[in-house]
């Protein structure tokens, strides 16, 4: 089943995200801002033409008051006043148009000043692969645990009704930590937050085979919800945080494609347990060291300042 899912989803993910991320909300800000500023300049140039030509047209219709009757002379005087006011108004509008043009040019220059490093440079950093590797693990494990949820807890001796209660803390804490982790990312290094998340995943896989009481099932759902909520909020922000927004679409597009591979591999990998190892507990214990190793790498990356010189260019 996992192989079928991988064969169907991976090519689709590569097609959608890698080559045309701008169609799916992943385009860099600079392209959108530049396209938006072109329209006001065009409109200003179009509206300016009739205004500047008004004095010439009115000048052709001038007629002296001495060549006409009293009523015609009065009309000519009114036209003369209108003509005297028109050049001033035209100059004022022209200045307004020029001001608007300068404003739009300034906005365009501001958009071009958006920071970011090239995708090829980002792909060569340890920071990119640290978060991408953690994302693959979390996506694969999360999908696999949900895919085999009732079978895993049944093996531990939990009935279906109690197993279904797991989703209550899972949903509530996933939503809460999505918001809470966004607040934390603004105040603490994302690598430290990633290390904390991965420790939770390690504890989850190591202790899950023994979860056979109501309290333990609720604790399982709570830890899973916290880890999932942190994971989603972190990966939603770290690529722009470290690599800037200029090429965010391309960089995030590759990462998303790899994540999709993780969601396909996870269920298949967990299925190895009952098929070849005698149950889910064995494969969960085999996977337990992985998040601890990734968490140690995240902590080391924070302490050593991985890729500091490269990432500084994205500011």
The reported pLDDT for the residue numbered 93 is 55
Question: Of 21-25, 119-123, 309-313, which one has max mean pLDDT?
Answer: 119-123
Is residue 198 in a domain? Answer: yes
For residues 275 and 236, membership in a common domain is answered with yes
Mean pLDDT of 30-57: 47
In this structure, the answer to whether residues 135 and 259 fall within a common structural domain is: yes
Looking at the fold, whether 146 and 170 belong to one and the same domain comes out as: yes
Greater model confidence, 168 or 41: 168
Domain that holds residue 79: 33-112
**pLDDT at position 58:** 44
Which of 97 and 153 is assigned the larger pLDDT? 153
Q: Which pLDDT value is given to residue 71?
A: 46
Based on the fold, state whether residues 281 and 159 are members of the same structural domain. Answer: yes
pLDDT at 205 over 70: yes
Q: Considering 87, 112, 137, which residue would you say is the last residue of a domain?
A: 112
How far the first Cα of the chain sits from its last, in Å, is 44
CA–CA dist 227, 142 (Å, integer):
10
pLDDT at 126 over 90: yes
The number of domains in the chain is 2
Answer with the one of 112, 138, 164 that is the final residue of a domain. 112
Do 129 and 273 reside in the same domain of the chain? yes
Angle at 50 between CA 48 and CA 56, to 5 degrees: 120
Strand, coil or helix: what is 27? coil
Its pTM stands at 0.66
Average pLDDT over residues 85-105: 54
Give me the pLDDT at residue 312, please: 81
Range of weakest confidence among 4-18, 215-229, 263-277: 4-18
Across the chain, mean pLDDT equals: 78
Q: What percent of the chain has pLDDT over 70?
A: 63
Q: Are residues 48 and 170 in the same domain?
A: no
One domain for residues 104 and 136: no
Lowest mean pLDDT among 53-57, 113-117, 169-173, 225-229: 53-57
Asked if residue 228 and residue 185 are part of one domain, the reply reads: yes
Q: In the prediction, which pLDDT does 115 show?
A: 78
Instruction: List CB contacts of 4: < 8 A, sequence separation 6 or more.
Output: none
Coil vs helix vs strand at 186: coil
Top-confidence range, 69-73, 87-91, 278-282: 278-282
Please report, for the chain, how many H helices and E strands are present, in that order: 15, 0
Long-range contacts of 51-54 (CB under 8 A, 24+ apart): 51/90, 51/93, 51/94, 52/90, 52/94, 54/86, 54/90
Which one of 64, 97, 112 terminates a domain?
112
CA 156 to CA 201: how far, in whole Å? 19
Residue 221 sits in the same domain as residue 74: no
According to the model, what pLDDT value does residue 33 have?
A: 46
Q: What is the CATH number of the domain that holds 208?
A: 1.20.1250.20
Do 198 and 226 share a structural domain?
yes
Asked if the model's pLDDT at residue 213 lies above 50, the reply is yes
| Whether residues 158 and 201 fall in one domain | yes
Residue 28, pLDDT score: 52
Residue 13 lies in a domain: no
């Amino acid at each position: 089943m996992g192989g079928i899912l991988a064969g169907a989803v991976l090519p689709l993910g590569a097609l959608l995200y890698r080559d045309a991320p701008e169609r799916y909300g992943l385009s860099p800000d600079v392209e959108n801002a530049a396209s938006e500023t072109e329209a006001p300049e065009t409109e200003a140039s179009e509206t300016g033409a009739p205004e500047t030509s008004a004095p010439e047209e009115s000048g052709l219709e001038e007629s002296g008051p001495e060549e006409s009757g009293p009523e015609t002379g009065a009309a000519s005087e009114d036209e003369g006043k209108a003509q005297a006011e028109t050049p001033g108004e035209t100059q004022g509008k022209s200045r307004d148009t020029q001001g608007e043009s300068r404003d739009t040019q300034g906005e365009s220059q501001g958009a071009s000043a958006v920071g970011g490093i090239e995708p090829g440079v980002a792909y060569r950093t340890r920071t990119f692969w640290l978060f991408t590797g953690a994302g693959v693990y979390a996506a694969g494990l999360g999908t696999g645990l949900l895919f085999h949820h009732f079978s895993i807890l049944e093996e531990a001796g939990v009935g279906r009704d109690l197993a279904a209660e797991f989703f209550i803390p899972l949903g509530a804490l996933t939503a809460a930590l999505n918001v809470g982790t966004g607040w934390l990312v603004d105040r603490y290094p994302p690598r430290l937050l990633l290390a904390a998340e991965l420790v939770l995943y390690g504890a989850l896989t190591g202790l899950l085979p023994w979860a056979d009481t109501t309290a333990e099932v609720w604790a399982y759902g709570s830890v899973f919800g916290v880890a999932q909520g942190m994971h989603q909020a972190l990966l939603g922000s770290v690529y722009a945080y470290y690599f800037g927004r200029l090429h965010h679409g391309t960089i995030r597009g590759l990462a998303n494609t790899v994540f999709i591979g993780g969601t396909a591999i996870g269920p298949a990998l967990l299925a190895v347990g009952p098929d070849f190892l005698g149950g889910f507990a064995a494969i969960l214990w085999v996977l337990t060291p992985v998040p601890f190793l990734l968490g140690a790498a995240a902590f080391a990356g924070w302490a050593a300042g991985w890729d500091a010189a490269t990432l500084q260019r994205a500011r």
